[in-house]
Chains A and B, each alone.
Chain A
Amino acid sequence: MTFTSIFFIVFLLGVYLIFRVSPQKYRWGVLLIASYVFYSTLNVPYLILAIIFITAATFVGGIQISKSITPQAKLAWLWFGITVNVGILVSLKYIPFILDNVSYFTDVEYAFGRQIVSIGVSFYTFQAISYLTDIYLEIQEPEKHLGRFSLYLSFFPKLLQGPIERASALLPQLRSDYHFDADDLKTGINLFLWGLFKKVVIADRLALAVDAVYQNVHDHSGISLVLATYCYALQIYFDFSGYTDMALGIARVFNIRLTQNFNNPYLSTSIADFWRRWHISFSTWILDYIFKPLQFEFRKWVRWGTPLALIITFLVSGVWHGASWCFIVWGGIHGLYLAGSAMLSKPLSRVYKRFRIDKSQTFKIINTVITFHMVCFAWIFFRSKTLADSVYIVSKIMTVFIDITVPKLIGDSEHILQLLGKQKFEIVIILLLTALTLLIESLRHPVEDNSRRIGLSWLAKMPCWMQGTAYGLILYFSLFYGVSTQSFIYFQF
């Protein structure tokens, strides 16, 4: 059951009604049962066992860390919790990858583990690890209520794709009483609809072109590959941010505010800026729990410490995204980008100041364009089926300018556009909607004030007839111009 299915809407309505009629003290129970029911609809029984086991181990670990008197005992309980979490994550997610690589070197085929799926595991294990670490660092009190703690890990809007919530942000909200707030309900519905629109109308439509090209990269020209990569950059943004909006909207209906994951990432002026705007809950997690400890560890190597920590952190980020060399290379590229900028930032800023371009708008736009293309380059590795495909695409794109002609450019562009829709008017509408959505997204409130980040907040300020019109348009396009067969990209992580 995905957020875009009609059954999820029915499920959500049911949960909301039961939640509203339940006594205050049992409402956490309604949400917990709903979360487990939601997870069980994936029809993978061992995932339920995995989340129960992780919940139990992390809950016990947290209390024991807090109770232990000696630092050694605290550390031992922390490692116990981390080992259980990482152990389950590795067993569910990386066994096929490990066996593939063992097979490559030993020429022995392993059938075991091929069918294992790990939907959501990476998200809640990271949440569990941060919870344990925060207790160890004494910045978080352990949760004494097993039910609420279980809900913290399994709350269904964020269970499958995050955001990765910190205990300090989510647990207090789960403890506080629910009070009906019409604004929250309206905002929640707005966010959900906006996310649905971004997912089914824009992302899934773009996926038609991207999939057609990336499934058989050798059948396509360099121009097609470039255009498909741009389409993928937009697809992954609308797909993941669409999901996040829907998750935030659902949580909001229950008076719970989840962390916003995106802040116009393609308007970033540097890769470091990109990571402050893309998958924010994840990037802050790896910054706090991987990069900072590593940076502290490498502090003796003054010049190389930070770049090395960045490369390792982003290699881990690649591994977290998936058990494949493509993801590792993608992480490595971002690590190199950031390491490079960390090493060059001082001399470059001196140059910028010297020529007084550091505050120029044109310079910012150039930086935005360059950053976008650097991100797109990395997306090639992220999207490709194999490393060989990525290398082929890169080599093909590198030679695209050698024999480029206007007719060829028009022909290949038409080919990509035709993949987006059956009729011309459909393609025109999709392109217009994509441009309009990008514009609306870029006008959204900045991330600093999370409470103001409401998907269609601009809508609430309009007269009621305009609101009705906007809802009608969003719903019509979502239902009849949407492609609802694609699952969310970040499900696989």
Chain B
Amino acid sequence: MLNTSENKRLIFIKQLFKILITVLAFAFTIETCARFDDVLRFDAPFWGTYTDKSLRTIDESGINRNVPNSSFEKWKNNSLGFRGEEVLLEKPTGLVRVVCMGTSETYGLYESANMEWPAQLQSLLPNSARYQVINASVVGMPLNKYRAYIEKYVVKIKPDIIILFINPYAYVMGSEKANKHSEDRYKRQHIEEKKKYFSFRAFEKLKLKFKAEVKQELPADLLKKYRVWQYSKIVNETEMRRLKNKLPMETVSQSHVDAFGYELNELIKYLKQQNIQVVLSSYPVLLQPGTLEAYNDIFIESRVGLVEYSFNGLIDISEKINLKIKDAAQKSGVGYVDIDSMVPKNLQYFADHVHYTDDGAHKVALAIKNYIVETNPAK
């Protein structure tokens, strides 16, 4: 016979055990649901980790590229490592291949599935069977890596037109830092790999859901103040670490801009040698002297990866590099579309400083489509 206190202890242990089993069953169920959901929704693997890291790699020659046949959520790479539908190596007669080269703004980040600007360009082009738009962009790739990438992966599909959408910040940052910055962006936006061997997908989904709910429910002003506080803290810490009491630069050095111009001219020369028509585009950014106050949270966030430059420095980079792109187009006689002047500087079109919403991507696609239709560079 058990005495009363022992009896109570037994009941307590029994209750505790029941609670533990319930919690475990609960956790097991939501994790299983999350994994099944990924399988059904994105054709993701049930076992193992599932992250955006599977999308990109660096090949044996040190060139950044997308992993062939990889996918993560809305992003899908084909067997050649280009985002989107399968592309045949052999080009059918009469088909005009339009290859879009750029970084994350071209690959697509915030847009809905198939709403990144190259995908929209494909559907906007008249007589779309005549054109095949290929999204060959690679997240975080700076200009000095374009040639090697094009030579190795793009030339073999025989492009007729290459649209160069060059991210000035990726160039100024340098490839390693640009890659890291892009990775960070993806991590902030999407499920990140927590542990090498196991990740609790349901937890990550719940975290994102919670963040989205809070974002939706909180007053916009309060949310903005929080973002300003959050990113200011990161920027200040990074400034302390990297700048060591030096002030951030207010302008980009002329040598940097000249080097950019040189790299671009060399790339154009190479593409011309390959009989590829080149279309350059200015690089649209949200950050302008007139929009600084309204979107200060976004601008502080954009400084996270580039603390070496002040707000004025960031503006200076985009202005000078855009001038250089225009200048290169004029001097080399290649096509030029001033998209920067065509995308209105507000949040209907920009999801952050350099990435687009569906509407923003539509504006870019429309501008390029108009250029192609009007000038017919592949004729």
Contact = CB atoms under 8 A, between A and B. Distances in A.
A425 B40 contact: yes
Contact of A480 (B37, B213, B217): B37
15 contacts: A5-B217, A6-B214, A6-B217, A423-B41, A425-B40, A464-B18, A464-B19, A464-B21, A465-B22, A468-B21, A468-B22, A468-B29, A469-B29, A472-B33, A476-B34
B153 interface: no
Contacts of A471: 22, 26, 29
A473 B217 contact: no
Contacts of B30: 472, 475-476
Interface in A124-183: none
A205 to B, nearest CB: 16
B25 A469 contact: yes
A366 interface: no
A472 B28 contact: yes
B32 to A, nearest CB: 8
A471 B25 CA distance: 9
B91 interface: no
Interface of A: 5-7, 423, 425-426, 464-469, 471-473, 475-477, 479-480, 484
- Most chain A CB inside 10 Å of its own CB: which residue of B28, B30, B34, B214: B30
Interface string B10-28: 0000000011011111111
Contacts of B29: 468-469, 471-473, 476
Given A468-B29, A472-B28, A472-B33, A7 B217 contact: yes
Given A5-B217, A468-B23, A480 B209 contact: yes
A468 B217 contact: no
B155 interface: no
A472 B25 CA distance: 8
Contacts of B37: 480
A426 B41 CA distance: 8
Interface string B196-236: 00000010011001100110010000000000000000000
Contacts of B25: 464-469, 472
Nearest to B42: A423
A472 B26 contact: yes
B16 to A, nearest CB: 11
Contacts of A473: 29, 33
Contacts of A465: 21-22, 24-25
B333 to A, nearest CB: 46
B205 A480 contact: yes
B194 to A, nearest CB: 19
A464 B209 CA distance: 27
A119 to B, nearest CB: 18
A398 to B, nearest CB: 40
List the 10 closest A-B pairs by CB distance, nearest first. A468-B25, A472-B29, A468-B22, A468-B26, A476-B33, A465-B25, A6-B213, A472-B26, A425-B40, A464-B18
Interface in B355-369: none
What class of interface size applies to chain B in its complex with A?
A: 20 to 34
Nearest to A484: B213
A6 B34 CA distance: 20
Given A464-B19, A479-B206, 13 more contacts: A423-B40, A425-B41, A426-B40, A426-B41, A465-B21, A467-B25, A468-B28, A468-B29, A472-B26, A473-B33, A476-B30, A476-B33, A480-B34
- Most chain A CB inside 10 Å of its own CB: which residue of B26, B41, B205, B214: B26
Interface string B162-182: 000000000000000000000
A38 B209 CA distance: 24
Contacts of A476: 29-30, 33-34, 202
- Most chain B CB inside 10 Å of its own CB: which residue of A7, A467, A468: A468
Contacts of A479: 205-206, 209
A286 B244 CA distance: 76
Contacts of A469: 25-26, 28-29
A472 B23 CA distance: 9
Contacts of A425: 40-41
A480 B26 CA distance: 16
A469 B34 CA distance: 13
A480 B202 CA distance: 10
A39 B245 CA distance: 51
Contacts of A466: 25
Contacts of A6: 210, 213-214, 217
A364 B176 CA distance: 75
A179 to B, nearest CB: 20
Contacts of B210: 6
A423 B42 CA distance: 10
Nearest to B33: A476
Contacts of B24: 465, 468
A465 B21 CA distance: 6
A469 B214 CA distance: 27
- Most chain B CB inside 10 Å of its own CB: which residue of A5, A472, A480, A484: A472
Contacts of A468: 21-29
Contacts of B21: 464-465, 468
B12 to A, nearest CB: 14
Contacts of B23: 468
A480 B34 CA distance: 9
B211 to A, nearest CB: 10
Contact of B22 (A7, A426, A467, A477): A467
A426 B21 CA distance: 30
A472 B36 CA distance: 14
A173 B18 CA distance: 33
B116 to A, nearest CB: 17
Nearest to B27: A472
Nearest to B23: A468
A5 B218 CA distance: 11
Contacts of B214: 6
Nearest to B17: A464
A7 B210 CA distance: 11
Contacts of B205: 479-480
Nearest to A468: B25
- Most chain B CB inside 10 Å of its own CB: which residue of A5, A426, A476, A479: A476
A6 B24 CA distance: 24
A475 B203 CA distance: 13
A41 to B, nearest CB: 11
Contacts of B213: 5-6, 484
Nearest to A482: B209
A469 B25 CA distance: 5
A479 B210 CA distance: 9
A472 B209 CA distance: 16
B358 to A, nearest CB: 15
B29 to A, nearest CB: 3
- Most chain B CB inside 10 Å of its own CB: which residue of A464, A469, A479, A484: A464
Contacts of A7: 217
A7 B214 CA distance: 8
B27 to A, nearest CB: 7
Interface in B73-98: none
